A = this chain, B = another copy of it.
């Protein structure tokens, strides 16, 4: 067959127009340098802001035009607005006084990593579409595995959040029921399918419940097992629940052990849970989103016995390893199960490479940005010793704070402090409900002041305050400031009684 190729074909439409392209190279360079100074200035001055901005809902939108801009605007004008409108109205997670929820840090090396990752703009769905992104992801996850003394052979990859990591782990657990072929047949309208049950403690994170919803397991089949006086899953109650479920015809599929619960950072009895999971042929998932990262210090790793038996383990370097959000590492013992659950290779994504990791096969999301870059930069910039030192420092600050709470006659610490989070409450001479109200007013008064932001939870039905130390900028004087604010607000509230 004879083919004449005409490479002289003119670009009729496009030649008449100058290609509009990106913003000019010079404008980009100048604006990114200005953004670098905005970022550096921010981190040097963030302590001058109240942690939580003193604004009302709607205040930000009221400052923005209702309609999108017709014409492009100069980058300097946009950056002016960023500095004027956005920056002052954020809650400052990088503030040294941020001690709420789990305090985190987007560290300098991580910010640099994100800047470069967004420049490369890689989508590492396939090895071929992101070789360095794919390999750096596997490599840094393996570095972290070694740092945590997790078993060799666990396969790690990065998700956005622990919510997704745990969802994927429990989906793999469901896929492991090969006889049921849920991937293909689904779960509805099947007379051959018993109710599937999963187990976690009453202190487990809400993301475990969300996984049960999403996967069609159902909230009521995620059995929330009571915890003991130290907020650890009660093994006797777990045994009872499994036995009752089996007697009722349910199929126990998975159990989640939490390593560092959100309210108190308690650690479930992982070795005992592992033994039960093994006996019952259940998947054993460990949610170590926050506290497992502390396992890079041998003395904290010793608290975590049993994690080596897990079928899947999650920790979030964006929580306590100073990587900017989002970065959640999921290790699984049998990555083939994840692939069996999720791998779909449509015609437009086939490749010729064999024996490569195509990260799209490991979960729900096809698109995968280059998150490993920031983790690599953080691990290298601090080194294992530097990271250990920082985690130890946070725990030391928290232990001092716990000792301070214990020394106050009007305050009561309500949970052990294994890591860097302290739970406590005021115990004025009031009926329980009024005590709760008192503590709610206490936390509100502390936060209203501005320099610190602490949070709360409920333990055994009672409202308690939570102070979490995890930001690299937090120094003794910031914790002392929190103490002074608690003291002052506490005194005022008592005086008002």
- Whether A36 and B171, one on each chain, are in contact in the complex, defined by CB atoms closer than 8 angstroms, is no
Residues 205-228 of A, flagged 1 when their CB comes within 8 A of B and 0 if not, give 111011111111111110000000
Instruction: Tell me the smallest distance from the CB of A381 to a CB of chain B, in Å.
Output: 6
Contacts of A85 in B (CB 8 A): 132
- The contact of A68 among B144, B184, B341, B484, by CB within 8 Å, is B144
- Whether B366 and A108, one on each chain, are in contact in the complex, defined by CB atoms closer than 8 angstroms, is no
Residue of B nearest to A463 (CB): B347
Known: A196-B188, A262-B346, A348-B456. A14 touches B163 (CB 8 A): no
Contacts of A75 in B (CB 8 A): 108-109, 112, 377, 381
Residue of B nearest to A404 (CB): B9
- Whether B262 and A348, one on each chain, are in contact in the complex, defined by CB atoms closer than 8 angstroms, is yes
Distance of A191 Cα from B302 Cα, bound (Å)? 47
Contacts of A71 in B (CB 8 A): 383, 385-386
- The contact of A494 among B1, B6, B31, by CB within 8 Å, is B1
Contacts of A162 in B (CB 8 A): 366-367
Between-chain CB contacts (< 8 Å), 16 pairs: A2-B409, A5-B486, A14-B400, A28-B111, A35-B36, A75-B377, A79-B112, A82-B116, A91-B122, A110-B118, A114-B114, A115-B118, A182-B218, A184-B218, A188-B190, A215-B215
- Whether A121 and B60, one on each chain, are in contact in the complex, defined by CB atoms closer than 8 angstroms, is no
Instruction: Tell me the smallest distance from the CB of A457 to a CB of chain B, in Å.
Output: 4
Contacts of A472 in B (CB 8 A): 20-22
Known: A52-B128, A69-B380, A114-B115. A101 touches B348 (CB 8 A): yes
Instruction: Tell me the smallest distance from the CB of A75 to a CB of chain B, in Å.
Output: 6
Contacts of A300 in B (CB 8 A): none
Known: A13-B399, A147-B68, A342-B210. A218 touches B112 (CB 8 A): no
Say if the beta carbon of A364 comes within 8 Å of chain B: yes
Inter-chain pairs besides A3-B491, A182-B216, A188-B221, 14 sampled, C-beta below 8 Å: A1-B494, A5-B483, A5-B491, A7-B487, A25-B43, A33-B33, A35-B115, A38-B119, A67-B146, A68-B147, A68-B383, A71-B385, A105-B121, A118-B374
Distance of A351 Cα from B118 Cα, bound (Å)? 33
Residue of B nearest to A405 (CB): B9
Interfacial residues of chain A within 1-46, with CB under 8 A of chain B in the complex: 1-7, 9, 11-15, 17, 19-23, 25, 27-29, 31-33, 35-40, 42-44
- The contact of A131 among B60, B147, B466, by CB within 8 Å, is B60
Counted per complex, copies of this chain come to 2
Residue of B nearest to A456 (CB): B348
Known: A131-B55, A209-B344. A187 touches B216 (CB 8 A): yes
Contacts of A364 in B (CB 8 A): 163-164, 167, 207, 210-211, 214
Say if the beta carbon of A107 comes within 8 Å of chain B: yes
- Whether B44 and A380, one on each chain, are in contact in the complex, defined by CB atoms closer than 8 angstroms, is no
Residue of B nearest to A24 (CB): B108
Say if the beta carbon of A136 comes within 8 Å of chain B: yes
Known: A23-B107, A476-B14. A78 touches B186 (CB 8 A): no
Contacts of A367 in B (CB 8 A): 160-163, 318, 325-326, 328
Interfacial residues of chain A within 321-346, with CB under 8 A of chain B in the complex: 322, 324-326, 328, 341-342, 344-346
Say if the beta carbon of A243 comes within 8 Å of chain B: no
Contacts of A128 in B (CB 8 A): 52, 91
- Whether B393 and A20, one on each chain, are in contact in the complex, defined by CB atoms closer than 8 angstroms, is yes
- Whether A118 and B106, one on each chain, are in contact in the complex, defined by CB atoms closer than 8 angstroms, is yes
Give the bracket for the number of chain A residues in contact with chain B: 35 or more
Say if the beta carbon of A130 comes within 8 Å of chain B: yes
Contacts of A146 in B (CB 8 A): 67-68
Contacts of A123 in B (CB 8 A): 93, 101, 104, 325
- The contact of A384 among B36, B53, B69, B399, by CB within 8 Å, is B69
Known: A108-B31, A118-B324. A347 touches B458 (CB 8 A): yes
Residues 418-453 of A, flagged 1 when their CB comes within 8 A of B and 0 if not, give 000000000111000000000000001000000000
Contacts of A215 in B (CB 8 A): 214-216
Residues 154-187 of A, flagged 1 when their CB comes within 8 A of B and 0 if not, give 0000001111100100010010000000111111
Instruction: Tell me the smallest distance from the CB of A76 to a CB of chain B, in Å.
Output: 11
Segment touching B, from A268-276, A307-315, A352-360 = A352-360
Instruction: Tell me the smallest distance from the CB of A393 to a CB of chain B, in Å.
Output: 6
- Whether B57 and A132, one on each chain, are in contact in the complex, defined by CB atoms closer than 8 angstroms, is no
- Whether A379 and B325, one on each chain, are in contact in the complex, defined by CB atoms closer than 8 angstroms, is no
5 A-B pairs closest in CB distance:
A186-B218, A216-B216, A106-B121, A3-B410, A189-B195
- Whether A6 and B407, one on each chain, are in contact in the complex, defined by CB atoms closer than 8 angstroms, is yes
